[in-house]
Amino acid sequence: MKTRYFFLIALLAAASLVSCQQMEKPVFSNSASSRMENVLDRFQNVLSNPKGGYGWYMAYFTQQDKTMGGSIYTIQFDKPAKGEATIFHEDVTPAAGWGDSCNYKLSRDDGPVLSFDTYNVAMHYFSTSSSEYYQSRGGDFEFELMSACQDSVVMRGKRSRNIFKMYPLEEAPDTYIQKVVQMSQDMTLGMVEAEISGGLVVMELDLGNRTITIGRKGALEDELTSIPFRFTPTGFSLYEPLDLQGVVFKDFVFDSDNASLISNGITFNMVVPEGYMPYSKYLGKYQLKNALGTREVTLSEVKKGSSYKLSGLSAMYDIDVRYSAGQGILLIFVQQIGVSDSGDSQYWLTVSDGSTLTWSPSAAVCTKVDDVEKDNFVLTFTDAGYYPSIAISSFWLAEFTGAPSSNTYVKGGITIPEWQFFEKDAEMSFPITLTKIVE
């Protein structure tokens, strides 16, 4: 009896939310099962008939603590409804299932549930395990439906318990996604500031993790606010509204001509820190030099305004390099660079203080430039300060018999010459310099 009672309460709550309006009177003439079927039918009708007819876009956040920014899905539910949806995601390319379809279903649990129940490269992108994310990235493909109307659909992830919202598209799904991707590439701002009632406010954008840190200029670290965002066709949108000194911010428009952001009538202008260099200036060939020798390497574009590939150091692997748009510097984080021929061992680029190494993905080194005005500038690697437990003074090529841990570490690092720095050593100590080759 208690179970049936709670099921009936959940059913009535779902029915009151489905139309985005409070129902005026409950209907008890049908069975609980029949009423749930009516609720599911009404949800189905909304999903298949969005305003404008183009489908929906969904703001997708994976982290429960919201330390990572969001991304965009577009979803077209079939009409008439036969249980098939066409899905796009900004990080899934056309060659990897871009715009593929998958099956979906509406079912009942404690309330109405929307599930994408056949594998789809895009929809299951954040919930699929890999060597890098062995527990996946906390994504959802099953959602509790909370409310739905022509203007929005509100859902809660069954796994993450995050709130997801869908809004009707005003253009074709692939066109919308392409605009979002283009904005993520075009926006290279790092630090901006604006005069707001009460003083100067500074905002730093972490474009890689898609988060902002904002507060009054000169504030202590614990006085600053961090919040994730997602890109839009015109700029970016925060996970939730932010009230700062009496002004509420949510959506920001990027003005590329003036290198600024505009939100709620306030203009944030770009701040150029000392030693700042734009993303494009780093592209090209370099002479990499250290105690082991000299070698020509190349920095090539991976994601405009965000990342590069460093090639030429070894024939066996390339190194991922990030660009900090806020500081205009390069960052190399600890990363996996390959596996053994047998597949039993993992090879990692780690960092060390000369005696102790770390395989923490948060540890990184950064670059400092000698003269931003020179074409043949010189970059020097130094500790980025993200992992204070050790003072990083070298790169170390480590080998692990499985996922990195103290139990799987193979003493001596990678001993295979083809994988070593300059085919000589597992360690490359500072100083390490990159001198730009002017062609």
Per-residue pLDDT tens digits of the chain, which is 439 residues long: 433 333 333 444 444 444 464 333 454 456 667 778 888 899 999 999 999 899 999 988 876 556 677 889 999 999 888 899 999 988 776 666 677 889 999 998 888 999 998 888 888 888 765 545 545 566 788 999 999 988 999 999 998 888 899 999 999 999 999 999 888 878 878 889 999 987 899 998 888 778 999 998 888 888 889 999 999 999 999 999 999 888 999 999 999 888 899 999 999 998 888 888 989 999 999 999 999 999 999 999 998 888 999 999 999 999 999 998 778 899 999 999 999 999 899 999 999 999 999 998 888 999 999 999 999 999 999 998 888 889 999 999 999 998 888 889 999 999 999 999 999 999 999 999 999 999 8
CA dihedral sign of residues 256, 250, 244, 221: negative
Q: Measure the CA angle with vertex 358, ends 356 and 363; round to 5°.
A: 125
At 380 the pLDDT is 98
At 65 the pLDDT is 54
Domain ranges, residue 252: 188-270
| Together in a domain, 109 and 257 | no
- Token representation of residue 266: 């306030």
At 10 the pLDDT is 43
Q: Measure the CA angle with vertex 254, ends 275 and 237; round to 5°.
A: 110
At 9 the pLDDT is 37
- Sequence-distant (6+) residues with CB within 8 A of 118 are 102, 103
Domain end: 144, 179, 214, which one? 179
Domain end: 270, 296, 324, which one? 270
Based on the structure, what is the number of domains in the chain? 3
| Together in a domain, 364 and 263 | no
| Together in a domain, 16 and 147 | yes
User: How far apart are the C-alpha atoms of 61 and 156, rounded to whole Å?
Assistant: 11
| Together in a domain, 200 and 300 | no
| Together in a domain, 344 and 424 | yes
List the one residue out of 137, 150, 126 whose CA is nearest residue 42: 150
| Together in a domain, 301 and 367 | yes
At 70 the pLDDT is 86
Which own/partner pairs from 78-84 qualify as long-range (CB within 8 Å, at least 24 positions apart)? 78/48, 79/48, 79/49, 80/48, 81/44, 81/47, 81/48
- Sequence-distant (6+) residues with CB within 8 A of 420 are 314, 397, 414, 426
| Together in a domain, 199 and 219 | yes
User: How far apart are the C-alpha atoms of 44 and 248, rounded to whole Å?
Assistant: 35
List the one residue out of 165, 139, 144, 162 whose CA is nearest residue 154: 165
- Other beta carbons within 10 angstroms of residue 269's beta carbon come to 14
| Together in a domain, 195 and 163 | no
Helical H runs in 189-343?
A: 279-282
List the one residue out of 421, 432, 424, 427 whose CA is nearest residue 356: 427
At 30 the pLDDT is 64
Domain end: 212, 236, 270, which one? 270
| Together in a domain, 261 and 339 | no
At 16 the pLDDT is 41
| Together in a domain, 167 and 193 | no
| Together in a domain, 252 and 313 | no
At 330 the pLDDT is 95
| Together in a domain, 110 and 259 | no
